[in-house]
Amino acid sequence: MTLSSFFSFFQLKTFFTAIAGTCWRLSAWRWQRLGKFLGLSCLCCLLAIACGRPGNQSSPSPTPPASDSRISLGTTAKIQSLDPADAYEISSGNLLYNLGDRLYTYASGTTDLKPQLATALPKVSADGLVYTIPLRQGVVFHDGTPFNAKAMAFSLQRFIQNGGRPAFLLSNTIESVEASGDSELTIRLHKPFAAFPSLLAFSGACAVSPQAYEIGAGKFKPSTFVGTGPYRLAQFGSDSLRLDTFDQYWGEKPANLGIDVQVYSSSANLFNAFRTGAVDVAYQNLDPNQIRTLEQGAEQGKWQAIAGPGSNITFLSLNTQDQPLNNRIVRQAIAAMVDRPLLQNRIFQGKVDPLYSLVPTVFEANKPVFQNQYGDGNLPKVQELLAQAGYSAAKPLNLNLWYRSNVPNNVSAATTLKGFAQQKLGGLVQIELSSVESATAYQNLEKGVYPVFMSDWYGDFFDPDSYLQPFLACAKGSPATGCQEGDSQGRGSFYYSDRVNQLIDQERQEQDPAKRQQIFGQIQDLLAEDVPYVPLWQAKDFAFAQTGVNGTRLEPTQQFPFWTLNKSS
């Protein structure tokens, strides 16, 4: 099979099942702790339950919605659980976003945090450890139970104590949570964390009825949900869900009478269902050719196409303790060798964006340090650096690149990187490709099995910290031994830097946003200098809506609101 036919073959596959969307958000070290969950192997879709930019709306709403309108949503995303204490897929998180309320959320079309069940931003103690939060009154749960501070404390305590997949997000941060009044919550942290209010906007940190749930390890209810949001769960099935509007909702009422979610068995079925008008909105798991066809139809006025930048990133993890990658110059040469536009166009038909930092471009803190320092396919730089490290055509650099065998775009990308090195570097770099199934890979990453490993990541909450701390922090180690315990070990890079650890601690404690941005910039500069990872691409998000549907919006915070959807009368 030729290289070009190889790419075409994979372009026709459902490669979006490997990108973002319903993917499990488990990092490698979390996978090792929670090995029974086979998450990141699915990694799907740029289609999007999440994201966009302000203004990325399908159309304004020129007429009021029809009084009897329900909205049908088509997807291929399987919902594993709707229990907030155990739901860790992107698809589940988006449903919880629409079914429940959290203390904080984001103003529509912006990345500005605003109160939801809280009535104001937290009052923070001088030492940054105690958060006092005033709560909304007059709110009731879907089962009629009144919402108050005790109910909110119960919800967060249950999230931590039941030991579900996302429990570490709060258990690693919160020391205690208690009702300090009927409408006041007090939370004490283990350590100061400036992004804590953003963490409280995590979809699973929503309020749940104390009458419908209980605290206890493993006590989950995956097929039910009783919260305070604009919709209540009326039906949960393996291939369909029904969300009805909640008539006692305290906030803005939905512009529709409910949402009918239909789960399709393949992207082809979803594609055909949307084209024939069987569903009002399609999101998740369409392949590049299907997306291109639907975009062309939108240009002809057949339906609407909504696109926005995503926050799912794909990168190479370099084992900094493995020869020859323990030589920083060699890692820098690899960074200079990567040609991101080649990957963008040859594999993804332009449906991803080149990425030049671990921090996606959806954040102002993004600094394209790899573009500035190395460029793309910078052959003179590669040759210069490898010569410094003692390599030549007679003594080539040998690399073993591992990728996930069940993620088609990883297969194509790895083959492209190898082909580029062979064609452009005249034997100076020899790349051996090896594959492994995702579940096995995530169990072995922290063991140092893979010299170079291609993986991806979707941040747990909307803050740059969620793209730096899980990659670069190390709790135990040294420059000589590398990371022996901590996040970078779990990522397979074993990176250790006293300076980076100090900067991460600083940004987590810094309450001044401008100063925090500066610290993020310094961390990214060190990332590009030390190269424990090489960023490759960033997902784009897509959604499609019929012409009669208004209010389709991809939020910049990676969420897809249902309550704005409506049909013209």
Q: Where are the alpha helices (DSSP H) in 109-238?
A: 149-161, 168-171, 196-199
Handedness of CA 34, 36, 37, 38 (dihedral sign): positive
- Model confidence at 17: pLDDT above 90: no
Q: What percent of the chain has pLDDT over 70?
A: 88
- Which H or E run includes 73? strand 71-75
- Which H or E run includes 398? strand 397-404
Give the side-chain half-sphere CA count within 13 A for 517.
8
User: Phi and psi of 126, rounded to 5°?
Assistant: -60, -30
* Residue 121 DSSP one-character state: P
- The two tokens of residue 326 are 């323990």
Residue 439 pLDDT grade (very low, low, confident, very high; cuts 50, 70, 90) = confident
Residue 408 pLDDT grade (very low, low, confident, very high; cuts 50, 70, 90) = confident
473: Cβ contacts below 8 Å, ≥ 6 apart: 486, 487, 488, 500, 501, 504
Q: Is 147 helix (H, G, I), strand (E, B) or coil?
A: coil
**pLDDT score recorded for residue 26:** 42
Distance CA 66, CA 53 (A): 27
Examine residue 324 and say whether the peptide bond preceding it is cis (omega within 30 degrees of 0).
yes
Q: Which has the higher per-residue pLDDT, 121 or 64?
A: 121
Span of 38-42, 76-80, 365-369 with lowest mean pLDDT: 38-42
Asked if residues 261 and 77 have their Cβ atoms less than 8 Å apart, the reply is no
Residue where the block lists tokens 């490898």 = 386
**pLDDT score recorded for residue 75:** 93
Q: What is the mean pLDDT of residues 457-476?
A: 95
**pLDDT score recorded for residue 50:** 34
User: Residue 423: how many CB atoms within 10 A of its CB?
Assistant: 9
Q: Where are the alpha helices (DSSP H) in 12-89?
A: 28-33
Q: What is the mean pLDDT of residues 170-189?
A: 97
Q: What is the mean pLDDT of residues 295-305?
A: 96
Please, is 513 exposed, middle or buried when counting C-beta atoms within 10 Å of its C-beta (0-12, 13-18, 19+)?
Answer: exposed
User: Residue 569: how many CB atoms within 10 A of its CB?
Assistant: 11
**pLDDT score recorded for residue 310:** 82
- Model confidence at 510: pLDDT above 50: yes
Q: What is the mean pLDDT of residues 300-305?
A: 97
- Model confidence at 41: pLDDT above 60: no
- Model confidence at 544: pLDDT above 50: yes
For 329-348, the pLDDT digits (tens) are 999 999 999 999 999 999 88
- Model confidence at 8: pLDDT above 70: no
Q: Return the closest-CA partner of residue 382 out of 411, 339, 323.
A: 339
- Exposure pattern of 89-113 as b/e (b: 16+ CB <10 Å)? bbbbbbbbbbbbbbbbbbeebebeb
Q: Is 206 helix (H, G, I), strand (E, B) or coil?
A: coil
Q: Return the closest-CA partner of residue 357 out of 346, 368, 348.
A: 368
Q: What is the mean pLDDT of residues 491-514?
A: 96
Q: Which has the higher per-residue pLDDT, 519 or 54?
A: 519
Averaged confidence pLDDT in the chain = 88
Q: Which has the higher per-residue pLDDT, 31 or 414?
A: 414
**pLDDT score recorded for residue 56:** 37
- The two tokens of residue 419 are 């082909």
Asked if residues 428 and 384 have their Cβ atoms less than 8 Å apart, the reply is no
- The two tokens of residue 169 are 């997000």
Asked if residues 37 and 275 have their Cβ atoms less than 8 Å apart, the reply is no
User: Residue 188: how many CB atoms within 10 A of its CB?
Assistant: 13
